[in-house]
């Protein structure tokens, strides 16, 4: 795909909607940043490349009163579908522009390893950062390695040829997944105690998550219900996060936005991936995989399933 | 000037920690991808002197949660009394490896919390601040998020530091700023040196002159604030990473129903709950209202009330914003109106 396909697609969709959510290039950082396009002129600044890491679906529930177009990678499309399935977003007020995704670069990891703001060039199977270069598969986001969703499940207009790519094998660069899998339950307890001891309760994880819709009345923060204390310490912070994560059961699409947003690098995806795996095994359900599927934990019927005992 | 070798730094930290003081230093977090944070240091642990920290050093003075006092309900002679258990004052810590942008933010925090600088008497803050020692690492390089050159002397600023360490080959040149700093360089960990001070970094700049009044003029232009905050997700990261942001929330946590503790925790004006009133009314319902406050407090109200800008150009909010919001672009957009 080139911008030759994307920009006209956005302009076309703009004829029907108030705003299109997409990406433009950050003048300071050189990578993609989210942008809103209201006019054809603004749309000339649209880009799509492998630094388009953000999941723009997070803005849809916040734009309830507008008709919205959205540029979506395959994984983003799953979040959109899940929002529709849950009734958070209505199908008729959105237009999805599907883009063919080559797998996105873990920009946060790249910058934390090689220096913030280093120019990122993705060419010839390698990612170049001002003199350094690493094989592409070493610096892709983890989810891209297992991607089963290159083809968006919901598309109104495809910008270019939305075809599949072969996901490279899943390496584990930090080794953390393997080490975590090998830990005993006691070691895991210790591990999470240490991880959450540096949580600052900024709730960036929650705000970046397209499916976390309680937001302003989230139990991580409210006094009513008062499920977690307001102290910022390992125990309360973990409790707050565990509540959030269990509320994501059968809803999380594994988009990795929460982990990307976390400023102190807590590997939240270890918990979510585990939970997503269990949900898929138990209910044969992948959140956002189809507009027809019913989320297993939203189908409880008080009459049929026996009511509260 | 005096010089300290790179490999003498652990001994310097041991000396500083000798009197039982907590030494905060930049450390790479275990099991993370190069997350660098200030944390209390203990002997034998490595210190990171080359990288930026992803959060500022303010936690050393304003902890994310501070216990203000404990309380309990007592029955005595048929009457119920409330017993308070005050917190013991903490000893002043040492802050090693702060950057100029951390050190100079102290002036803003002092203006609010430290009576010696005209602030209120905040016992927790003032207790930690009164004997604080700040050893700053001067910046010879910077990245594209840094913009401290926009303020005062930029990377050459000495405000807030006791001792400044300039990186040179195999170690640091040490320039004392205060008496506490002069005393440190007399330690025999330091030697005389004829080396020249290195060139300091030159960062990006934004123009903040006139912003104080400009902001007031543009306060009611809600479309402008919607435009500049359209990417923002309304999390607490930028305030929590910032060396100058200092808002807090006070609350009681009970253990059982007879005793508890009163605490304060960091709070952010970007949260909906920050201004939510008991009636259910919220004067800042939209992200745009909240982001406007973020800019107004930093560049207009606080300068008007306390004489300090609440930004030192450290760039942390830019590096870590999950939505790619760049406060410099916001300032430019506002200035161009
Ligand atoms: S983003 Fe990270 S630090 Fe912030 S609340 Fe979530 S887990 Fe804690
Ligand atoms: S919990 Fe994390 S991975 Fe799951 S949908 Fe939300 S942001 Fe994405
Ligand atoms: S500007 Fe960025 S860091 Fe700050 S509240 Fe908005 S999304 Fe969070
Ligand atoms: S507003 Fe941003 S750049 Fe300014 S001091 Fe705070 S974190 Fe640093």
- The whole-model pTM stands at 0.95
Q: Helices marked H in chain A — which ranges?
A: 3-14, 40-43, 74-85, 107-114, 142-145, 176-182, 185-196, 204-208, 234-246, 257-261, 269-283
Residues A183 and A243 in one domain: yes
User: In the block, which residue shows the tokens 């734009």?
Assistant: A63
Whole-number Å distance between alpha carbons of B243 and A252? 34
Q: Are the beta carbons of A245 and A275 closer than 8 angstroms?
A: yes
Residue B316 CA: nearest ligand 4 atom is: 7
At B303 the pLDDT is 96
Name the residue facing A231 among B237, B265, B323 (closest C-beta): B265
Residues A129 and A217 in one domain: no
Residues on chain B touching A198 (C-beta within 8 angstroms): 29, 37, 39
Q: Are the beta carbons of B115 and B126 closer than 8 angstroms?
A: yes
At A166 the pLDDT is 59
> Does the pLDDT at position A175 exceed 90?
no
Residues A5 and A145 in one domain: yes
At A268 the pLDDT is 97
Residues A147 and A201 in one domain: no
CA A54–ligand 1 middle distance (angstroms): 17
> Does the pLDDT at position A170 exceed 70?
no
Name the residue facing A202 among B235, B272, B318 (closest C-beta): B235
At B28 the pLDDT is 95
HEC profile of A261-277: HCCCCCCCHHHHHHHHH
Decide which of A142, A171, A200 is a domain's last residue: A171
At A309 the pLDDT is 42
Domain count, chain B: 1
Whole-number Å distance between alpha carbons of B262 and B58? 21
> Does the pLDDT at position B194 exceed 50?
yes
Chain-chain contact of A34 with B31 (C-beta, under 8 angstroms): no
Domain count, chain A: 2
Note the ligand closest to the C-alpha atom of B101.
Answer: 4
Whole-number Å distance between alpha carbons of A19 and A13? 9
Q: Mean pLDDT, to the nearest integer, of A128-151?
A: 88
- Percent of chain B scoring above 90 in pLDDT: 93
- Tokens for A45? 């600044």
Q: Mean pLDDT, to the nearest integer, of B109-137?
A: 96
Name the residue facing B240 among A35, A62, A200 (closest C-beta): A200
Tens of pLDDT, residue by residue over A224-252, are: 888 899 999 999 999 999 999 999 999 99
Residues on chain A touching B273 (C-beta within 8 angstroms): 216, 221-222
Tens of pLDDT, residue by residue over B131-179, are: 999 999 999 999 999 999 999 999 999 999 999 999 999 999 999 999 9
Interface predicted TM-score (ipTM): 0.95
Q: Mean pLDDT, to the nearest integer, of A153-171?
A: 73
At A304 the pLDDT is 72
User: In the block, which residue shows the tokens 């003498």?
Assistant: B8
Domain coverage including residue A136? 1-171
Whole-number Å distance between alpha carbons of A266 and A194? 10
Stronger pLDDT, A298 or B121, i.e. the higher one: B121
With a CB cutoff of 8 Å and minimum separation 6, the contacts of A302 are: A308
Q: Which one of B26, B32, B252, B278 would you mutate to disrupt binding with A, by most A Cβ within 10 Å of its Cβ?
A: B32
Q: Are the beta carbons of A275 and A66 closer than 8 angstroms?
A: no
Residues A147 and A177 in one domain: no
Nearest CA to ligand 2 atom 7: A209
Which of residues 112 through 151 in chain A touch B, CB cutoff 8 A? 112-113, 115-117
Domain coverage including residue B180? 2-336
Nearest CA to ligand 4 atom 1: B311
Q: Are the beta carbons of A263 and B55 closer than 8 angstroms?
A: yes
Decide which of A147, A171, A195 is a domain's last residue: A171
Cα three-residue angle A113-A118-A123, rounded to 5 degrees? 95
Whole-number Å distance between alpha carbons of A225 and B211? 41
**Best mutation site among B270, B312, B325, B326 for ligand 4 pocket (most ligand atoms within 8 Å of CB):** B312
Decide which of A104, A136, A171 is a domain's last residue: A171
Q: Mean pLDDT, to the nearest integer, of B65-92?
A: 91
Which SS3 state, helix, strand or coil, does residue B243 take? coil
Residues A161 and A61 in one domain: yes
The CA-to-CA distance between both ends of chain B, in Å, stands at 48
Q: Are the beta carbons of A63 and A34 closer than 8 angstroms?
A: no
Q: Are the beta carbons of A298 and A86 closer than 8 angstroms?
A: yes
| A101-105, B8-12, B153-157, B269-273: range with lowest mean pLDDT | A101-105
Q: Are the beta carbons of A176 and A270 closer than 8 angstroms?
A: yes
- Percent of chain A scoring above 90 in pLDDT: 67
For residue A64, give Cα distances in angstroms to A4, A59, A95, A272.
30, 9, 14, 27
At A204 the pLDDT is 97
When pLDDT is cut at 50, 70 and 90, the band that residue B14 belongs to is: very high
The β-bridge partners of B173 are B3, B166
Cα three-residue angle B71-B77-B83, rounded to 5 degrees? 10
> Does the pLDDT at position A71 exceed 70?
yes
CA dihedral A15→A17→A23→A25, nearest 10 degrees, is 50
Stronger pLDDT, B156 or A169, i.e. the higher one: B156
Residues A114 and A145 in one domain: yes
Cα three-residue angle B174-B177-B182, rounded to 5 degrees? 65
Residues A206 and A162 in one domain: no
Whole-number Å distance between alpha carbons of B54 and B117? 28
- Strands B23-28 and B36-40, bridge-based pairing: antiparallel
> Does the pLDDT at position A173 exceed 90?
no
- Tokens for B207? 């123009």
Distance from CA of B330 to the nearest CA of A (A): 13
Averaged pLDDT score across all residues of chain B:
95
Residue A223 in contact with partner chain B when CB distance is under 8 A:
yes
Q: Helices marked H in chain B — which ranges?
A: 9-17, 100-103, 106-113, 123-130, 179-185, 211-218, 222-228, 237-241, 287-296, 302-306, 316-320, 327-336
| A73-77, A157-161, B171-175, B203-207: range with lowest mean pLDDT | A157-161
Surface-to-core class of residue A59, CB atoms within 10 Å of its CB (0-12 exposed, 13-18 middle, 19+ buried): buried
CA A51–ligand 1 middle distance (angstroms): 23
- Tokens for B226? 């919607």
Q: Are the beta carbons of A104 and A80 closer than 8 angstroms?
A: no
Stronger pLDDT, B230 or A171, i.e. the higher one: B230
């Amino acid at each position: 795909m080139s911008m030759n396909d994307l920009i006209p697609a956005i302009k076309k969709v703009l004829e029907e909607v108030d705003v299109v959510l997409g990406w433009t290039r950050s003048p300071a950082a050189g990578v993609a940043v989210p942008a809103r396009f209201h006019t054809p002129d603004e749309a000339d600044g649209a880009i799509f490349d492998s630094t388009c890491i953000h999941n723009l679906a997070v803005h849809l529930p916040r734009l309830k009163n507008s008709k919205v177009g959205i540029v979506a990678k395959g994984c983003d499309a799953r979040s959109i579908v899940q929002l529709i399935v849950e009734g958070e977003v209505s199908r008729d007020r959105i237009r999805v522009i599907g883009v063919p995704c080559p797998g996105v670069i873990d920009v946060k990891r790249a910058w934390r390893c090689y220096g913030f703001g280093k120019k990122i060039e993705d060419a010839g199977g390698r990612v170049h950062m001002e003199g350094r270069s690493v094989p592409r598969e070493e610096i892709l986001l983890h989810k891209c390695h297992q991607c089963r969703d290159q083809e968006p499940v919901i598309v109104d207009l495809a910008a270019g040829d939305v075809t599949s790519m072969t996901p490279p094998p899943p390496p584990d660069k930090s080794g953390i997944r393997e080490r975590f899998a090998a830990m005993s339950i006691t070691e895991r307890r210790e591990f999470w105690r240490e991880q959450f001891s540096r949580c600052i309760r900024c709730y960036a994880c929650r705000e970046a998550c397209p499916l976390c819709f309680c937001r302003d009345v989230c139990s991580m923060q409210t006094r009513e219900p008062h499920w977690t204390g307001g102290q910022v310490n390992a125990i309360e912070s973990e409790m707050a996060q565990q509540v959030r994560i269990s509320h994501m059961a059968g809803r999380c699409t594994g988009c990795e936005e929460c982990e990307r947003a976390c400023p102190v690098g807590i590997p939240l995806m270890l918990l979510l991936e585990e939970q997503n795996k269990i949900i898929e095994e138990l209910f044969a359900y992948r959140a956002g995989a189809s507009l027809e599927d019913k989320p297993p934990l939203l189908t409880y019927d008080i009459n049929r399933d026996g009511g509260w005992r | 000037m005096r010089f300290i070798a790179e490999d003498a730094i652990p001994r310097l930290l041991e000396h500083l920690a000798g009197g039982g003081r907590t030494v905060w230093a930049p450390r790479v977090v275990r099991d993370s991808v190069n997350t660098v944070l200030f944390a209390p240091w203990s002997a034998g642990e490595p210190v990171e002197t080359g990288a930026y920290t992803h959060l500022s050093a303010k936690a050393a003075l304003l902890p994310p949660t501070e216990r203000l006092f404990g309380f309990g309900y007592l029955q005595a002679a048929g009457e119920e009394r409330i017993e308070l258990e005050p917190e013991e004052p903490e000893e002043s810590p040492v802050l090693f490896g702060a950057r100029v942008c951390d050190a100079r933010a102290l002036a803003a925090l002092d203006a609010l919390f430290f009576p010696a600088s005209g602030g209120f008497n905040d016992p927790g803050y003032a207790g930690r601040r009164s004997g604080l020692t700040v050893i700053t690492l001067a910046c010879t390089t910077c990245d594209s998020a840094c913009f401290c050159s926009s303020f005062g002397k930029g990377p050459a600023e000495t405000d807030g530091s006791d001792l400044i360490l300039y990186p040179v080959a195999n170690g640091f040149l040490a320039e004392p700023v205060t008496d506490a700093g002069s005393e440190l360089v007399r330690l025999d960990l330091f030697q005389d040196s004829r080396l020249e001070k290195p060139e300091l970094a030159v960062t990006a700049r934004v123009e903040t002159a006139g912003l104080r009044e400009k902001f007031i003029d543009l306060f009611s232009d809600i479309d402008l604030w919607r435009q500049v905050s359209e990417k923002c997700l309304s999390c607490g990261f930028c305030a929590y990473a910032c060396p100058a942001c200092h808002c807090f929330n006070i609350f009681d946590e009970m253990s059982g129903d007879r005793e508890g503790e009163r605490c304060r925790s960091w709070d952010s004006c970007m949260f909906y709950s920050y201004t939510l009133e008991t009636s259910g009314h919220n004067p800042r319902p939209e992200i745009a209202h909240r982001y406007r406050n973020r800019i107004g407090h930093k560049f207009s109200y606080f300068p008007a009330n306390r004489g300090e800008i609440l930004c030192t150009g450290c760039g942390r909010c830019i590096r870590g914003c999950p939505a790619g919001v760049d406060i410099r672009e916001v300032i430019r957009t506002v200035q161009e109106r």
